[in-house]
Structure 1
Amino acid sequence: MSNYAPTERDPLIQDATLRPSMQEGNEEEEEEVLIKRPGPLEIPRSTRYGILAGIWVATFLSSLNTTLVATLLPTISSEFQRSHQASWLGTAYLLATCTFTPLYGRLCNAMGRRGANQAAVFFAALGTLACGLSGNMELLIAGRFLSGLGGGGIFTTSTIIVSDMYSMRSRGLTQGIQSVFNSLGMGLGGPLGGFISDRFGWRWAFLLQMPLFFISFVLTSWHLNYVTPGKGKSTLDVLKRIDYWGSATLLGSVGSCLIFLSNRFNDERPWDSPSVIVPLTLSILLAIAFVVIEIKISPEPVLAPFLLKQKIPVLVGISNFLVANCNFSITYFYPMWFQTVLLTSASTAGLHLMPNCVAISLGAVFAGWAMHHTGKYRTLNLTFGIFPFIGAVLVSTMRRDSYPAQLWLSIIPLGFGNAVVLQTMLIALLAHLPRDALAVGTGFGQLFRGVGQVSGVAVSSAIFQSVLDRELRKRIHVPDANEMISKIRHSATLVSTLPPAIQRAATESYDVALRAVFITAAFSTLTAYLVRLPIPDKSLEHSDESRPSPSSTPSSTTTSSTATPQASEPPSDDEGEEISKRVKRPVLKTSGLRPRRLSTYESADGVMDLESDRIGGSARR
């Protein structure tokens, strides 16, 4: 019989996996015992709420910066005298978001959840600070790019962290609440930016965000300490496995496409101009190189090749692209309609986005609540997925003499429907993937969404400028018509100061050009609805949350569907830190009994750890 007795230094709950019960007659021996930190499903509620608060503050700021510059462009371009570069303040942010967002699914598994999230927050904060302190347009654009590099990662890491802490069925409601912060940021970006700029100067629209970034960093530092087991790798091994070439070719391809669209349609350079041919050719070649690298070369590609062979991930990716294209086409050009057609102020034009903000929030929460209570998502998608098309059509039919109700409420179906679609498609994607591919799948979906955001702004801008130029030339026939048309095209604020006759021609031209953008967005979202029709339903159960108490019997635990032979191996921190201290304690051998585990979920805690040699999850499979 062992004479071992616990002391006040012993933890109240021992790791049942590594310390079997003591029985009389067993031989006593010395063994190292690991005292481990809890997994994501075992953390206290207060800790979970602290984590959510930290990641959601950052989510709000990331979304805020997406639309913040919309009302700051006239002031910034006037100060730096660089109006021809002003559009890059929006596209630089979205370009970085599109290019680097997929990497964070990888970094979550390489650096750990906290490390990846805090890296994203750091880059976003540094870029925002650079924007506030910039002395020229070039530094401001660079700051926007850096801010986008972190902003896209904030959303991906937040989604993965929520996926860790909640079951498939419960996380829909939680991610719906997260979407509230996302939509609040996007909805308040324009009006809040204009309000701060008018009263304190445009720089303070960036600088006032810094305390909130600090709060987010502190909250995740304090609370985000749960562990997922897996075999950690050295920093050098992690760096070797990042898809540098894939990210570089994606950045080059999308960036070259933006330059082509800007040179051809914004600056009206001819098709045979080298400044048009070179970026177009380069964009195509780099796109081909990106696909080859992802399929054949990269050890851990950002665009997982095995997902490209599966129907559901591909359909979700196409839907994400088209939905994001529609969202950003209307978000960036909707306020302009009020400024150039109704000749309202920038602040008033920005306020017209508020109904969209409220609709997105309500739609996200409703979708999460409905999936949580019904365990289904297809009916939601079929019912509310047509709403964005209805909203886009209503927006495209606005006129100067339209009723106020149409001017303020037309955008509501668009925001509500797209919020439901994005929520249901995220859950549909995750539900059809194995647990060891959730992080890679999340990055996969975000890649298509990011490219859609960039193309939504860039392609819509090209359509808008092309139609606007054609309509202005139809209506303006004064002696200096070319110079006048050029000024009107590149300065929306100039319209309100024009002589009555030219002003009428300008407002009519803007109306036609913007309607072309809205109609294109309507076709985009209708196509997305048709693409989603083949996606089947799949029951969402609380399987992740069913775990026994520490006092469960060995038989009840070992028969669990999540039990695996690897479950009894000691876990290691996926953040690269030492997660447990080793202490010498006498333990007794037991014969004929398999060791108990503290939780049946323990064997699945490392499913998103791509660095694990025991558990799968490679993007290349």
Structure 2
Amino acid sequence: MASKPSERDPLLPRRVSGDEDGHDSETGKKTVKKGPLGPLEIPRSTRYGILAGIWTATFLSKLWFQRRHDDQHPLVLPSISSEFNKSNQASWLGTSYLLATCTFTPLYGRLCNVLGRKGANRAALFFAGLGVLLCGLSTNLETLIFARFLAGIGGGGLTTTSSIIVSDMYSLRKRGLTQGVQSVFQGLGLGLGGPLGGLVTDWLGWRWAFLIQMPLFCFSYILTSINLNYVTELLNPEQGKGKSAKEILKRIDYGGSASMMMAVGSCLLFLSAKYNEGLPWSDPFVIVSATLSALFAVVFIVVEIFVAPEPVLAPTLLKLRIPALVGVSCFLVETCSFSIMYFLPMWFQTVVLTNASTAGLHLMPNSLSMSVGSLFAGWIMHVTGRYKTINLIFGMFPFIAACFIYQLQPDSGFWVSWFSIVPLGFGNAVVLQTMINNQMPVGIGLGQLFRGVGQVGGVAISSAIFQSKLEAELQKRITGPDSQAIRQNARYVATLPPDIRALAQESYKVSLKSVFFFAAVMALVAYIVRLPELTNTPQIPDKHLDSRPRADKGQQPDKNSDSDSQDTQTQSPSETAKVVEPSNGRSSPTM
């Protein structure tokens, strides 16, 4: 039985502040709290259960993330297009996924505040699992493309909610290493998607490449349902369940999401019609798609500024130096990365004349280096508590890699051919890890928005550059119907007579180098944008990443340490969230 309070007891109980392992930050003793636990107060076993659940889903979301055509996925997509006899539409299997990811990923930063972390993660998991299931059950290509779109709605959300959940459970200094481990699962998904999909397709058929993932989706759902029950200070103890469904639905930016999807989709149609299909500017389809893209872009801006109660692209964020810098950097980094990843295998298939499987395997070093780079960045931030220096040093690596790739020749040796791409993955991983690691939920959503636009833009712009250049080069060297067939089918090059094949190889070589040059320029611009010396003022504040400065008894905090009152970036996500959500229901983020 508890003893009666005495006159020496405080009138109000002292609030216990704990760390990620549930220890009191002042006494160092294990704390036990009654009632709902916050993200820093949950037991370590619960935290590991949450991580296992969200990382399993993250791995699955990346398995089919960057697949555009049979040059990238040499075994699965040809089987699909052959069954449906519509290989000319197979590229939409990848494009639909990217379009959905770009459009809906930013919503999950808001949904984490509206539905709670668990609700938002469940929504993402539902759409991803449903999309994958429908892919395996599709009876025509149109249904399959729609299923890929559904999978994209959830796939991008799984990445965003995973980052936000990790940000909740770990302090700024510790979360870098944890998110580095998360990036390993993403890299494994990116790197193993092609080989695993090909093996399953050869063994059981292409449908099972999708259906075999369903048990893992169920495993992720069970783990998160059991363990993901912490509360944040932004939400009520029921993680938003007290709000009615009508109130929750009102807070979603439908107009912004729809107008952005139409703007990006119309832009993709325009680029495909003008440069992939070679239609003239006077063609009605080209005119209409370009006009719609510009029109919906204007509608999106108007909706975000004047209409949406909680906009996908919060205008107030763009007025702040750090969020704007993060967004621009993410866009340029992803544009460079996807331009190279989508066209490097084509170099080996059309210029070097390797088989499609070997050409696709040249992306494996990039996936592995991304995982290593994320772990390295997380470890450095964990040990030193700083992140600006490694961003400046290793942020130059993508430009170096793009220059190496631009210098590739058909007779380049083994090491150059296989490992020129390694600095790209390593450098981009370090940059993205250090740029997004210290953002609040809405800031993470903003970064994911610009990453999605950069991914779509990288594919679309580089495709336009490549196709227009290839058409011009082929017309200079080859006449007759072979020219069009060579441009539309990269595999056709290896079957040509030796004299025509040499001309086609040279045309592809020149065209692909123009794409690699574009990627190098994007990487250099991304680095310049982040360069502090550009304006003689630090654009990326180099701060100690401890969530709070701690002091032993009898000691004062270090005067050089950053305090919570100086910059909201040093606060925990739940504390920052209180600044994000004003009482009037419209966001006014402060970072």
- TM-score, scaled to structure 2: 0.86
1:508, 1:2 → 2: CA distance? 85
Maintained 8 Å contact 2:398/2:425: yes
Residue 235 to residue 279, structure 1, CA distance change in 2 (3 Å):
same
Residue 348 of structure 1 deviates from its aligned partner by: 1.2
1:526 is aligned to: 524
SS in structure 2 of the partner of residue 66 of structure 1 = coil
Query: Out of 262, 273, 279, which is 2:289 matched to?
Result: 279
SS in structure 1 of the partner of residue 437 of structure 2 = helix
1:407 aligns with 2:405: no
Higher relative contact order structure (alpha carbons within 8 Å, sequence separation ≥ 6): 1
Query: Out of 322, 339, 354, which is 1:329 matched to?
Result: 339
What are the Cα deviations for residues 17-40 of structure 1, in whole angstroms up to 9, with x where unaligned? 899xxxxxxxxxxxxxx9512110
Q: Which amino acid aligns with 1:244?
A: Y
What are the Cα deviations for residues 404-463 of structure 1, in whole angstroms up to 9, with x where unaligned? 1100110001111111111111135x2xxxxxxx11111111111100000111111111
1:353 aligns with 2:363: yes
What are the Cα deviations for residues 245-271 of structure 1, in whole angstroms up to 9, with x where unaligned? 011110010000000001111111100
Q: Which amino acid aligns with 1:343?
A: L
1:270 is aligned to: 280
1:75 aligns with 2:79: yes
Q: Which amino acid aligns with 1:46?
A: S
The residue correspondences of 1:222-301 to structure 2 (distance < 5 A) are: 222-229=226-233, 230-231=235-236, 232=240, 233-301=243-311
Residue 97 to residue 544, structure 1, CA distance change in 2 (3 Å):
farther
The residue correspondences of 1:60-139 to structure 2 (distance < 5 A) are: 60-68=59-67, 70-71=72-73, 72-139=76-143
Query: Out of 468, 481, 486, which is 2:470 matched to?
Result: 468
2:510 is aligned to: 512
SS in structure 2 of the partner of residue 272 of structure 1 = coil
2:573, 2:395 → 1: CA distance? 33
Residue 234 of structure 1 deviates from its aligned partner by: 2.0
Maintained 8 Å contact 1:162/1:174: yes
1:41 is aligned to: 40
Maintained 8 Å contact 2:582/2:588: no
- Which region of structure 1 is more displaced relative to structure 2, 69-78 or 372-381? 69-78
Residue 612 to residue 451, structure 1, CA distance change in 2 (3 Å):
closer
SS in structure 1 of the partner of residue 66 of structure 2 = helix
Query: Out of 346, 353, 377, which is 2:387 matched to?
Result: 377
1:389 aligns with 2:371: no
Q: Which amino acid aligns with 1:512?
A: V
Q: Which runs of 5+ in 2 are unaligned?
A: 6-11, 17-32, 533-538, 553-562, 566-570
Query: Out of 428, 435, 446, which is 1:444 matched to?
Result: 446
Residue 148 of structure 1 deviates from its aligned partner by: 0.5
Query: Out of 450, 458, 461, which is 2:460 matched to?
Result: 458
Maintained 8 Å contact 1:363/1:416: yes
2:577 is aligned to: 608
The alignment's C-alpha RMSD in Å is 2.7
1:320, 1:309 → 2: CA distance? 17
Count of matched residue pairs: 537
1:219 is aligned to: 223
Maintained 8 Å contact 1:256/1:282: yes
What are the Cα deviations for residues 351-409 of structure 1, in whole angstroms up to 9, with x where unaligned? 11111111111110001111111121111111111110110111121111111110011
1:277, 1:140 → 2: CA distance? 29
What are the Cα deviations for residues 464-502 of structure 1, in whole angstroms up to 9, with x where unaligned? 11111111112213xxx1x32222222222222222222
Query: Out of 147, 153, 166, which is 1:149 matched to?
Result: 153
Residue 537 to residue 487, structure 1, CA distance change in 2 (3 Å):
same
Q: Which runs of 5+ in 1 are unaligned?
A: 6-14, 20-33, 431-437, 549-560, 564-600
1:398 aligns with 2:398: no
Query: Out of 306, 309, 319, which is 2:329 matched to?
Result: 319
Report the identity percentage: 60
Maintained 8 Å contact 2:59/2:189: yes
SS in structure 1 of the partner of residue 36 of structure 2 = coil
1:112, 1:289 → 2: CA distance? 29
1:267, 1:223 → 2: CA distance? 51
Q: Which amino acid aligns with 2:65?
A: T
Residue 617 to residue 361, structure 1, CA distance change in 2 (3 Å):
farther
2:541, 2:387 → 1: CA distance? 6
Residue 94 to residue 316, structure 1, CA distance change in 2 (3 Å):
same
Q: Which amino acid aligns with 1:311?
A: R
1:173 is aligned to: 177
1:181, 1:4 → 2: CA distance? 53
Maintained 8 Å contact 1:103/1:302: yes
Maintained 8 Å contact 1:91/1:458: no
2:333, 2:449 → 1: CA distance? 13
1:586 is aligned to: none
Residue 314 of structure 1 deviates from its aligned partner by: 0.9
2:159, 2:204 → 1: CA distance? 29
1:44, 1:322 → 2: CA distance? 39
Query: Out of 573, 587, 590, which is 1:618 matched to?
Result: 587
The residue correspondences of 1:5-16 to structure 2 (distance < 5 A) are: none
SS in structure 2 of the partner of residue 262 of structure 1 = helix
2:56 is aligned to: 57
